[in-house]
Structure 1
């Protein structure tokens, strides 16, 4: 009889331990959920106009498009696909900015558009997935795609002030020169600078640019940035001179890394 009583007490230990274990797991799960909710609720709010967090963006993606010389449909499609992929890969809250190269200063200024990329989805525990997806689609993706379509459709012009447009563009992006966050600049261009200040068509090269005081005027807005050149091939200017110039230009501007890809049309 005594052994049976001891057996009954032994059998009762299992359910108690199991119950305690389940309670601990439940408390841990509720604690984790509570931490996630607290963390999400503590995040800074978004600026309505720019969609950027109040404490600033997570990074910069600045895209400058140069259609001052003829660009084929194939090249435009290739450029668009690469830019779309870069935007999709960019972390949430990256400030995405666009501008164009043009001899018309007013057009250059009007072409600048800058928005932060909001999250495309969210956990149902911390937000409303439907509303988050709608904001991404309607307030970010649609305006960006529409603006990009417009920039790619700008007709050719009689001059290509690439350096001037780039300097104005980067200066106009809020925080670009001062934010200590990743900076990525994308140039869709043939790199053939042609303006009153400097032109490859007039025999300009790095030496003549330097002799004319050009290096002293560089603002180093690209300091620490990564640059992607989506190059539109041209045969109108000496390739060696153009390449040598831009290698030196990017180095003088403090660029951390340069990647190049050719957008061919054959």
Structure 2
């Protein structure tokens, strides 16, 4: 009888330990679920639903920065206009969520630096949110009406020729770098500069219409130092608009010349695209 009682007590003790162990594991699992749930909604609140500027739709900290510098001194023909628009539309589709996009027109730099024609950030599209963590329909509408549409309208306006007799491309690149890329707080932000131009610098000091200078010699001149700037870490794309008299005014070495002087300033040309037409 005593043996049976001892066995019974041991069996009851094992059962209690088993129940306590199961309860402990259930509590641990609940804790992990709670941590995961809180973490998910924290990430969504911090990264997915940032407070945006009412006009630009930019958060306080942007993820990436793209500047498009447009030189439309000469009118575009029909193929150029269409290809240029195609490239711009493709660019809009590439802009990431919370990436800043500005459009700047090539112009002489006077007492103040150039001001963007338009500044917008991509707030994200409907695909970036679900019904659980946001309002995808509302975000899609904001993306279309607050980002895509204003950019398209600005692009269409810039496609009209300015009929300017000067094309200060180098000064305009310098202006964008100084007034936009080199602002405090943007040190770790990825930066991209797109130069849409015939790449023919034309000012009183430097005019490629008189002939393309040797890149190495030009880099050593005062004219270069006057327009140079810090492009460290900036990826540069050259969208080269072909002129009707390109065989006389746009030598084959023109893109290579720009690659050399941009590299001298710390930037890197990642793409050269010749706009059709």
What's the TM-score, normalizing by structure 1?
0.78
- The answer (yes or no) to whether the contact 1:36–1:126 under 8 Å persists in 2 is no
Count of residues in Structure 1 that have an aligned counterpart in Structure 2: 244
What's the TM-score, normalizing by structure 2?
0.75
**Is the alpha carbon distance of 1:52 and 1:110 closer, same or farther for their aligned partners in structure 2, counting shifts above 3 Å?**
closer
**Partner residue of 2:12?**
none
Is the partner of 1:188 in helix, strand or coil? strand
In 2, Cα distance between equivalents of 1:226 and 1:207: 21
| Larger CA deviation: 236-245 vs 134-143 | 236-245
**Is the alpha carbon distance of 1:112 and 1:170 closer, same or farther for their aligned partners in structure 2, counting shifts above 3 Å?**
farther
**Is the alpha carbon distance of 1:171 and 1:104 closer, same or farther for their aligned partners in structure 2, counting shifts above 3 Å?**
closer
Residues 1:199 and 2:207 are matched in the alignment: yes
Give the CA RMSD over aligned residues. Answer: 3.1
**Partner residue of 2:80?**
75
Residues 1:53 and 2:59 are matched in the alignment: yes
**Partner residue of 2:140?**
133
Is the partner of 1:231 in helix, strand or coil? strand
Shift of 1:192: 0.8
Is the partner of 1:61 in helix, strand or coil? strand
- Show CA shifts across 1:220-264 (max 9, x none): 342111111111123242514534431221111111343111112
- State the structure with more CA Rg: 2
Shift of 1:163: 0.8
**Is the alpha carbon distance of 1:34 and 1:154 closer, same or farther for their aligned partners in structure 2, counting shifts above 3 Å?**
farther
- The answer (yes or no) to whether the contact 1:97–1:114 under 8 Å persists in 2 is yes
Which of 38, 42, 45 is the aligned partner of 1:41?
A: 45
In 2, Cα distance between equivalents of 1:58 and 1:103: 30
Is the partner of 2:222 in helix, strand or coil? coil
In 2, Cα distance between equivalents of 1:223 and 1:215: 17
Is the partner of 2:86 in helix, strand or coil? helix
**Is the alpha carbon distance of 1:213 and 1:231 closer, same or farther for their aligned partners in structure 2, counting shifts above 3 Å?**
same
Shift of 1:118: 0.7
Query: Is there any run of 5+ residues in structure 1 with no aligned partner, and where?
Result: 1-22
Q: What pairs up with 1:230-241 in 2 under 5 angstroms?
A: 230-234=239-243, 235=246, 236-237=248-249, 239-240=251-252
Q: What pairs up with 1:165-176 in 2 under 5 angstroms?
A: 165-173=172-180
| Larger CA deviation: 255-264 vs 169-178 | 169-178
- Show CA shifts across 1:96-152 (max 9, x none): 01011234869x845532211111121111112222112212221221111111111
